[in-house]
């Protein structure tokens, strides 16, 4: 949901200056050594270059700079990680010189004797020192002694972190500081550590789920009966096509959020005798209005799904009159968000693939990971493979499969050697029966020899290094189960960003497959449909229509540029075009193809009749 506290224009605060002004102030400060000023001004210029914006348009607000600098990656910038760290450090120095940063001390600032004494108690505790370093220096520079530490000072420290530092998640870091302080106060009580306990903040203002005890048994029984109906528990009294367990859980969540919204809007749920009483128009309006107001007076996909779940219960599961039916129809039209094509989040992720260098890093990632894993794979003694290397190899195999067989994470994480994998000569075949796939479409992929050999080597040499070999899963977990889905997802995300600079989830491999294919072969929606396992071409077109827009725009650019040329030069340019076309295409994206794609009428795909 939208954060209503987010400031979309940092310059609205007149005290906020631009990087250009910051650079001028540093240049004018003669108290700073000339070489140091040049170094800092160069770093400011570099930040503007990395953000692709004029320094006059970049505010010196940490809330603006933190997420943007945090998203930079050495690979994308063609610099070392150390270079990024140095630029960030010099930028913070500029903030201190200009008087913007006044409370947080530099990393190497000297601690006061009282804080140094506590610091010495942590000798050998690298984690504790890392977490408390900023707090100790903050208190030292602001004249605060350890015995005066309190929740109020802790809150001021958090405010300083948010206003003057570039750390990624100040609130999370502050929570960690409080926990570590409390633990060390307990561990070193006998050594004179102040026995002050700091409150660990809880940022749960977005949580609104109602406790189970505040909902009557009658409501819970009705909800359980409906979910049983969706799951197809009764052969003759349930849905003809039952929901999958995951879909049933989604509906359960939507209803619990609906009940929570009613609770927070003032409806007592302990004395309600039936869920039916809560799905009448008046109650529906009350709950959805609360969710709408909470979201900044805007609907959302999430709110629309809650509304739809309640509507299904009221209209399809129960009997309602025409007036109620008409009410829900109008409400759903207002609340449901029908966004054609990819979401903004997925569009942003796919835009990364407009860079040919990023595409090359992406397709080469499994090889890159495997090579690095082999390089670090053996311990100093040379007898045992490292866990770090095994995880890297595992990520390489998961990414290799996701590239050549863009399946959903649910199927990827549960691949079994005895059920889903077979071999055709030296090529691996992945097969998933229809009942295991989200849309009941059987999937079958024959992987290339190179990918197959890599997976076979993983199975033979790496798969069971730290788990029993009897576990049948390609990515084994504990107790004979597959690896936790969220763990595999995070493992893949970390590997992708760490070695390519691309920010994407495992599910977005499916979108990447469609984009790369349509970039190279515009209009080939049927191929995309078969690759992704969509039931109908309409689904494919609805998601990826317009994916070849870049190719269309570049084709149009070529036409305009040809028309601009003088007539006398057109024949010469046409002759030159044949020799330069291949050279130009190498520097352009894969979308720059002048070959006319097979025409696919969108109206026909969507089942609409063409006008006369």
Domain edge (last residue) among 73, 97, 121: 97
What is the CB-side half-sphere exposure of residue 275 using CA atoms within 13 A? 21
The mean pLDDT value for 435-448 works out to 93
Range of the structural domain that residue 560 is part of: 549-587
Residue 22 included in any domain: yes
pLDDT score recorded for residue 599: 46
Instruction: Calculate the dihedral angle through the C-alpha atoms of 272, 275, 280, 284, rounding to the nearest 10 degrees.
Output: 90
The pLDDT tens digits of the residues spanning 373-421 come to 988 876 544 545 688 899 999 999 999 999 999 999 999 999 999 999 9
Contact predicate 459/432, CB 8 Å: no
Band the pLDDT of 579: cuts 50, 70, 90. Answer: low
Is the pLDDT score of 176 beyond 70?
yes
Q: Are residue 450 and residue 325 in the same domain, yes or no?
A: no
The pLDDT tens digits of the residues spanning 18-29 come to 999 999 999 999
Distance of alpha carbon 535 from its chain centroid, rounded?
27
The pLDDT tens digits of the residues spanning 243-300 come to 988 899 999 999 999 999 999 999 999 999 999 999 999 999 999 999 999 999 999 9
Domain edge (last residue) among 536, 570, 603: 536
Residue 121, Cβ density class (10 Å: 0-12 exposed, 13-18 middle, ≥19 buried): middle
The pLDDT tens digits of the residues spanning 508-545 come to 999 999 999 998 888 889 999 999 999 999 889 888 87
Q: Are residue 361 and residue 488 in the same domain, yes or no?
A: yes
Instruction: Calculate the dihedral angle through the C-alpha atoms of 251, 257, 259, 265, rounding to the nearest 10 degrees.
Output: -150
Q: Are residue 43 and residue 142 in the same domain, yes or no?
A: no
Contact predicate 365/399, CB 8 Å: yes
The mean pLDDT value for 416-428 works out to 95
* Structural domains in the chain (count): 5
CATH number of the domain within which 421 lies:
1.10.443.10
Domain edge (last residue) among 335, 360, 395: 335
Residue 246 included in any domain: yes
pLDDT score recorded for residue 578: 53
Residue 386 included in any domain: yes
Q: Are residue 370 and residue 323 in the same domain, yes or no?
A: no
Residue 105 included in any domain: no
d(CA 419, CA 439): 19
DSSP string, 64-83: HHHHHHHT--HHHHTS-HHH
pLDDT score recorded for residue 2: 44
d(CA 291, CA 371): 50
Contact predicate 353/550, CB 8 Å: no
Residue 461 included in any domain: yes
Q: Which of 5-14, 31-40, 77-86 has the lowest mean pLDDT?
A: 5-14
Q: Are residue 223 and residue 315 in the same domain, yes or no?
A: yes
d(CA 260, CA 215): 9
Which segments of 447-591 does DSSP mark as H helices, in order? 449-461, 485-500, 508-520, 525-532, 537-544, 549-564, 567-587
Give SS3 for 41: helix
Residue 606 included in any domain: no
What's the pTM value of the predicted model, to 2 decimals?
A: 0.77
Q: Are residue 530 and residue 572 in the same domain, yes or no?
A: no
Q: Are residue 519 and residue 389 in the same domain, yes or no?
A: yes
Helix H or strand E segment including 104: none
C-alpha distances (whole Å) from 426 to each of 30, 328, 404, 422, 454 are 71, 57, 16, 10, 11
The pLDDT tens digits of the residues spanning 483-514 come to 999 999 999 999 999 999 999 999 999 999 99
Q: Running DSSP on this structure, what letter comes out for residue 25?
A: H
Buried b (16+ CB within 10 A) or exposed e, 333-350: eebbeeeeebeeebeebb
Give SS3 for 416: strand
Residue 364 included in any domain: yes
Contact predicate 182/135, CB 8 Å: no
Q: Are residue 563 and residue 463 in the same domain, yes or no?
A: no
d(CA 383, CA 270): 63
Q: Are residue 349 and residue 496 in the same domain, yes or no?
A: yes
């Amino acid at each position: 949901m939208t954060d209503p506290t987010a400031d979309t224009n940092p310059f609205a605060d007149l005290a906020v200056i631009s990087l250009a002004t910051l650079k001028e102030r540093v240049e004018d400060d003669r108290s700073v050594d000339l070489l140091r000023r040049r170094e800092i001004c160069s770093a400011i210029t570099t930040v503007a270059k990395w953000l692709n914006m004029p320094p006059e348009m970049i505010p010196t607000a940490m809330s603006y700079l933190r997420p943007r600098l945090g998203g930079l990656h050495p690979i994308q910038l063609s610099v070392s990680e150390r270079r990024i760290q140095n630029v960030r450090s010099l930028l913070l120095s500029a903030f201190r010189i200009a008087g913007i940063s006044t409370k947080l001390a530099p990393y190497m600032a000297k601690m006061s004797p009282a804080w140094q004494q506590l610091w010495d108690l942590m000798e050998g505790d690298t984690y504790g020192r890392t977490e408390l370093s900023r707090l100790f220096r903050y208190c030292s520079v602001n004249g605060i002694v350890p015995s005066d530490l309190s929740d109020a000072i802790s809150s001021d420290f958090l405010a300083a972190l948010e206003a003057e530092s570039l750390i990624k998640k100040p609130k999370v870091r502050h929570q960690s500081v409080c926990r570590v302080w409390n633990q060390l106060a307990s561990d070193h009580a006998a050594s004179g550590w102040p026995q002050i306990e700091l409150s660990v903040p809880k940022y749960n203002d977005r949580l609104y789920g109602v406790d189970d005890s505040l909902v009557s048994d009658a409501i819970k029984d009705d909800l359980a009966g409906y979910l049983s109906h969706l799951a197809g528990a009764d052969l003759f009294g349930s849905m003809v096509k039952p929901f999958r367990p995951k879909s049933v859980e989604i509906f359960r969540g939507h209803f619990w959020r609906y009940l929570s919204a009613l609770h927070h809007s003032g409806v007592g749920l302990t004395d309600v005798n039936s869920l039916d009483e809560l799905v009448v128009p008046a109650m529906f309006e009350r709950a959805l209005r609360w969710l709408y107001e909470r979201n900044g007076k805007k609907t959302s996909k999430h709110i629309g799904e809650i509304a739809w779940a309640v509507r299904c219960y009221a209209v399809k599961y129960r009997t309602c009159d025409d007036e109620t039916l008409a009410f829900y129809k109008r409400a759903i039209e207002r609340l449901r968000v029908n966004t054609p094509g990819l979401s903004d989040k997925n569009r942003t992720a796919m835009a990364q693939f407009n860079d040919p260098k990023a595409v090359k890093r992406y397709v080469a990632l499994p090889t890159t990971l495997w090579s690095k894993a082999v390089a670090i794979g053996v311990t100093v003694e040379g007898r045992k493979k490292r866990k770090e290397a095994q995880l890297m190899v595992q990520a390489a195999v998961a990414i290799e499969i996701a590239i050549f067989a863009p399946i959903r994470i649910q199927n990827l994480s549960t691949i079994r050697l005895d059920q889903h994998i077979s071999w055709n000569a030296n090529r691996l075949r992945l097969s998933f029966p229809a009942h295991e796939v989200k849309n009941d479409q059987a999937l079958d992929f024959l992987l290339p020899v190179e990918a197959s050999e890599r997976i076979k080597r993983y199975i033979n040499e790496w798969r069971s290094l730290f788990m029993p070999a009897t576990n049948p899963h390609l990515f084994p977990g504990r107790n004979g189960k597959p690896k936790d889905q969220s763990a595999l997802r995070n493992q893949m995300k970390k590997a992708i960003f760490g070695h390519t600079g691309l920010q994407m989830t495992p599910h977005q491999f499916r979108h990447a497959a469609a984009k790369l294919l349509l970039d190279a072969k515009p209009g080939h929606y049927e191929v995309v449909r078969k690759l992704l396992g969509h039931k109908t071409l309409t689904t494919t077109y609805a998601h990826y229509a317009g994916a070849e827009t870049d190719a269309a725009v570049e084709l149009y650019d070529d036409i305009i540029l040809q028309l601009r040329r003088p007539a006398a030069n057109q024949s010469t340019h046409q002759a030159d075009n044949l020799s330069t076309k291949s050279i130009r295409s190498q520097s352009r994206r894969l979308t720059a193809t002048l070959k006319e794609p097979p025409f696919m009428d969108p109206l026909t795909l969507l089942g609409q009749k063409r006008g006369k």
